[in-house]
Amino acid sequence: MNNIKNIAILGSTGSIGTQTLDIIDEHPERFRASVLTAARNWELLAAQARKFMPDKVVIAREEFLPQLKEALADVPVKVEAGDNAIAEATAIPEVDTVVTAMVGYSGLIPTVKAIEANKTIALANKETLVVAGEIITSLLKKSGARIIPVDSEHSAIFQCLVGEDRKNVAKIILTASGGPFRTKTLAELEQVTVDDALRHPNWNMGAKVTIDSASMMNKGFEMIEARWLFDCPPEKIEIAVHPQSIVHSMVEYIDGSIKAQLGVPDMHIPIRYALSYPERITSVREPLKLSQYSNLTFEAPDMNRFPLLSFAFEAIAAGGNMPCILNAANEVAVAAFLNRKIRFMDIPRLVEKVMKETPFISSVTLEDLVATNTEARSRAKSLIKH
């Protein structure tokens, strides 16, 4: 019997993707990279293909297909391009687990395809559940697919729930580092730069999620992600700012017990668990030394200084296409901030405007969400222009 899990990594050249390949490299007796995809970094994708010899690689941006093909001309790896090829790659029969590690809205359609193909999904793309949580949840019920969270907080919650009856959950306590601007005043937040925002105190991540962490949009998205992953109403999700990032989240039960999962802030841990679940496998990395942390602190978040967090609660309360509008506006705003076209506190201003101005649909189909995404983006872009 062949016990090796075949892994498709969507977004293999990003932060989560490369760390997933580290785990595959540590455990070749258990895992094999069978599909690797990237948005545009064809050079790293080609290097990964040479090392891991997957069956197939796909580059999203078709203009890089000739370079990628030439770079892999002498190895037996299929080379394809385009968003459709990425979505189709998730449904290949040999693939056991799909790691969705691409950035933003682009994760939605491939995740839907992976669910329809009954795959195990190691979900690292939180925007999929933010945009389409209700649709994804109902698709999952009709399919043999399952989602194992990779996000460190959701992995922690998932681990705290193992062996428990869901009806005994009193609340979920989602921890947040607070990011690099945790102690900044509103006036100071108006002045922060891109470089300030990219300097996260604990986690080493991609640019988009690092900016979302600085604005606490990331925590708002994670609240929505938890709402769908664990079928937990938003009023039962409490956010605790925990600057040390050692407690990755907690679950409180009806008897007053709270279970927590702890570890060093290293994404290899939740990625490893998502790949090995329900088993645990060895790590080659340094574990947490609790004696180095004499001071673990927790405080309530400040929604005045971090308005995007309160917009996330408003969006999930409204439902329908509102979380999709929130996400689309934020993606455009973060890209504009990274390109130094707007300032940091323009991100929430822009998001609020787009949420007010984009037509609300209370009951949505996948097609509605695709249309909403396009509309909210173009609205956000034209607001930036003017």
Least distance to Mg ion from the beta carbon of 222, Å? 6
User: Which residue's CB is nearer to Mg ion, number 296 or number 318?
Assistant: 296
Residue 169: strand pairing partners = 253
Q: Does 151 bind Mg ion (CB under 5 A)?
A: yes
Instruction: Return d(Cα 195, Cα 217) in angstroms, integer.
Output: 18
Span interacting with Mg ion, options 97-105, 151-159, 247-255, 311-319, rule CB under 5 A? 151-159
Judged by CB under 5 A, the stretch of 148-156, 227-235, 271-279, 290-298 that binds Mg ion is 148-156
Q: Which is nearer to Mg ion, 85 or 216 (CB)?
A: 216
- Residues in 306-345 at the binding interface with Mg ion, rule: CB under 5 A: none
Region class of 216: left (phi > 0), else alpha (psi between -120 and 50), else beta: left
* Strand ordering across the sheet containing 237-241: 237-241, 169-176, 247-253, 258-262
Candidate ranges 73-81, 150-158, 187-195, 282-290; the one touching Mg ion (CB under 5 A): 150-158
Q: Between residues 154 and 259, which has the closer beta carbon with respect to Mg ion?
A: 154
Q: Is 368 helix (H, G, I), strand (E, B) or coil?
A: helix
Nearest to residue 147, comparing CAs of 5, 248, 274, 237? 274
Residue partners of 160: CB distance under 8 A and separation at least 6: 249, 250, 251, 259, 260, 261
Structure tokens at 4: 């090796």
Name the 3-class secondary structure at 236: helix
- Shortest distance (Å) from residue 300 CB to Mg ion: 19
Cα 111 to chain center, whole Å? 12
Bridge partners, residue 35, by sequence: 8, 56
Closer CB to Mg ion, 150 or 333, in the complex:
150
Kindly write out the interface string for residues 221-250 of this chain, putting x where it contacts Mg ion by CB under 5 A and - elsewhere.
------------------------------
> Which is closer to Mg ion, CB of 6 or CB of 152?
152
Which of these segments, 7-15, 70-78, 115-123, 149-157, binds Mg ion (CB under 5 A)?
A: 149-157
Chain length of the chain: 386
CA 10 remoteness from chain centre: 12
Query: Closer CB to Mg ion, residue 91 or residue 288?
Result: 288
User: Which residue number, 90 or 152, has a Cβ lying nearer to Mg ion?
Assistant: 152
Q: Return the structure tokens found at 74.
A: 């002498």
Containing H/E element for 35?
A: strand 31-38
Contact region for Mg ion (CB under 5 A) — 74-82, 107-115, 153-161, 246-254?
153-161
How many residues form the binding site for Mg ion (CB under 5 A)? 3
Provide, rounded to whole angstroms, the least separation between the CB of residue 179 and Mg ion.
11
Mark the segment that binds Mg ion (CB under 5 A) among 16-24, 109-117, 143-151, 349-357. 143-151
Residue 172 CB, nearest distance to Mg ion (Å)?
Answer: 13
| Closer to Mg ion by Cβ: residue 205 or 322 | 205
Q: Scanning the structure block, which residue is given the tokens 């060895």?
A: 282
User: DSSP 3-state assignment of 115?
Assistant: helix
Which spans of this chain sit near Mg ion (rule: CB under 5 A)? 151-153
